[in-house]
Amino acid sequence: MSLRLGKKVVAPARRREIAQWYFDVGLTTVKDVYLALGITHTCFRYQAKLSAANDVVADWLVRLANNWRSWGFGLRFLYLRNEKD
């Protein structure tokens, strides 16, 4: 089964969901899913790792956005990068 879509029809995350469904239902093999949807093994097996650091950074970004409205993303990034705990 070498059906290849000519263009990006859906986002990679959505293609991963479709691939997982096909594999879970048992309609095809993993290799055929990779070929048909144009995804890699890495994309199919990827699992995001959530960390507490993300919450800390998000909190800092909200505080910086509220306190320094004139700062763009670049200044906020540099501030957070240079901030010492």
Instruction: Please indicate, yes or no, whether residues 18 and 41 belong to a single structural domain of this protein.
Output: yes
pLDDT above 70 as % of the chain: 87
Instruction: Please indicate, yes or no, whether residues 39 and 16 belong to a single structural domain of this protein.
Output: yes
Domain boundaries, position 69: 52-82
Asked whether residue 76 is assigned to any structural domain, the reply reads: yes
Q: pLDDT tens across 58-67, in order?
A: 888 888 888 8
Model pLDDT, residue 63 = 87
Asked whether residue 3 is assigned to any structural domain, the reply reads: no
Model pLDDT, residue 73 = 82
Domain count across the chain = 2
Instruction: Please indicate, yes or no, whether residues 16 and 40 belong to a single structural domain of this protein.
Output: yes
Asked whether residue 72 is assigned to any structural domain, the reply reads: yes
Distance CA 46, CA 35 (A): 17
Q: How confident is the model at residue 5 (pLDDT cuts 50, 70, 90)?
A: low
Instruction: Please indicate, yes or no, whether residues 58 and 74 belong to a single structural domain of this protein.
Output: yes
Asked whether residue 4 is assigned to any structural domain, the reply reads: no
Phi/psi at 34 (5° precision): -55, -50
* DSSP state for residue 83 in the 8-state scheme: -
